[in-house]
């Protein structure tokens, strides 16, 4: 009996339209892992997604 591996879907919402990990139809991040910075953030406006990779050519 063949078993199929279930693909996990990220629950991380992504609005970064120019990121290669953005799945715009689903508004989700497809990266296996994400890293959020910065180290010294004190509020949400000071954070960034360090996993971002530009999809622009």
What is the rounded CA–CA span in Å between residue 14 and residue 36? 12
For residues 4-21, give the mean pLDDT: 79
3-state secondary structure of 46: helix
Band of residue 5 on the pLDDT scale cut at 50, 70, 90:
low
**1 pLDDT exceeds 60?**
no
pLDDT tens track for 41-54: 888 888 888 898 99
* Position with higher pLDDT, 9 vs 1: 9
Please give the structure tokens belonging to residue 21. 């990990």
Q: Which residue has the higher pLDDT, 49 or 3?
A: 49
């Amino acid at each position: 009996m063949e078993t199929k591996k279930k693909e996990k879907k990220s629950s991380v919402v992504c609005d970064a339209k120019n990121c290669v990990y953005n799945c715009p139809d689903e508004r989700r991040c497809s990266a296996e892992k994400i890293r959020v910075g910065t180290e010294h953030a004190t509020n949400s406006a000071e954070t960034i997604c360090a996993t971002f990779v530009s999809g622009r050519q």
